């Protein structure tokens, strides 16, 4: 079982702590606010009130032995200073994976320079996901595999109906690669409904409502036809 420390129990930290716990991870949730610690105590493995800028206090709770630490301290007032000192402490304790939440790109750059393995931008990333979802309602699901690149599920539009893979020329016209096809409602042979074609060939016919698994840049995926 992997062991996590979540430091800073605002909305982000609380949600992260409880979600990790529900995924059967061991979670130590930390905050300076006694009331917040009491509220989450029954929802995580262990909740403790301490000052994360105190390295000795962190070691006393075994934070130096966790697999991953996430610093989610709010960064208004002296919060940003506390987040920086906490990241420095965690790295000094030998933790290899230290993730830090940032509210702006500048704050993120600072946290990365003091040792954060990766910076999390919940507000920015959430806004970007929603903007993409609103612009591309025909893309039902998306998995990021590299910055700016994804594998996405696309509902085949009416303009794709009864055209072959060769006819559509997805790679040439849109710079995306067709990975697989799941047959939808309008396939000619009803017995093929739900069938998955893992290796689409040039003469494979696509029907409206088929689910197409495609890979490419987010920019190119957004340009795929919706109708």
* Pick among 2.60.120.10, 1.10.1060.10, 3.40.50.720, 3.20.20.70: CATH of 3-123: 3.40.50.720
Burial label for 11, CB within 10 Å (0-12, 13-18, 19+), is exposed
Higher pLDDT, 139 or 91: 91
In angstroms, rounded to a whole number, what is the distance separating the alpha carbons of residues 227 and 224? 9
- Name the 3-class secondary structure at 111: helix
Question: Quick one: pLDDT band at residue 137, thresholds 50, 70, 90?
Answer: confident
pLDDT of amino acid 226: 84
Q: Given a cut of 90, is residue 188 above it in pLDDT?
A: no
pLDDT at residue 207 above 80? yes
The mean pLDDT value of the chain amounts to: 90
pLDDT at 33: 94
Q: Which residue has the higher pLDDT, 142 or 45?
A: 45
pLDDT in tens, 18-66: 999 998 899 999 999 999 999 999 999 999 999 999 999 999 999 999 9
Superfamily of domain 133-222: Regulator of K+ conductance, C-terminal domain (3.30.70.1450)
User: For the chain, what are the domain ranges?
Assistant: 3-123, 133-222
Q: 42-65 burial string, b = 16+ CB within 10 Å, else e? A: eebeebbebebbebebbeebebbe
User: What mean pLDDT do residues 108-115 have?
Assistant: 95
pTM of the model: 0.66
Q: Poorest-confidence range of 21-35, 128-142, 173-187, 188-202?
A: 128-142
């Amino acid at each position: 079982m992997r062991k996590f420390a979540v430091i800073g129990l605002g909305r982000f930290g609380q949600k992260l702590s409880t979600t990790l716990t529900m995924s059967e991870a061991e979670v130590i949730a930390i905050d300076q606010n006694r009331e917040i610690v009491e509220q989450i105590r029954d929802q995580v493995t262990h909740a403790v009130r301490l000052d994360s800028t105190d390295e000795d206090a962190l070691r006393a709770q075994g934070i130096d032995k966790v697999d991953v630490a996430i610093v989610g301290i709010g960064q208004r007032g002296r919060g940003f200073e506390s987040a920086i000192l906490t990241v420095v402490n965690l790295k000094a304790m030998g933790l290899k994976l230290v993730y830090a939440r940032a509210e702006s790109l500048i704050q993120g750059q600072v946290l990365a320079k003091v040792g954060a393995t990766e910076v999390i931008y919940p507000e920015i990333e959430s806004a970007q996901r929603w903007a993409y979802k609103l612009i591309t309602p025909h893309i039902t699901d998306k998995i990021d595999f590299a910055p700016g690149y994804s594998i996405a599920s696309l509902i085949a539009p009416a303009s794709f109906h009864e055209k072959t893979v060769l006819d559509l020329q997805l790679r040439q016209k849109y710079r995306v690669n067709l990975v697989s096809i799941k047959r939808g409602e309008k396939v000619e042979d009803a017995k093929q409904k739900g069938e998955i074609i893992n290796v689409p060939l040039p003469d494979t016919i696509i029907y409206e409502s088929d689910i197409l698994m495609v890979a490419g840049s987010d920019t190119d995926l957004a340009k795929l036809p919706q109708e």
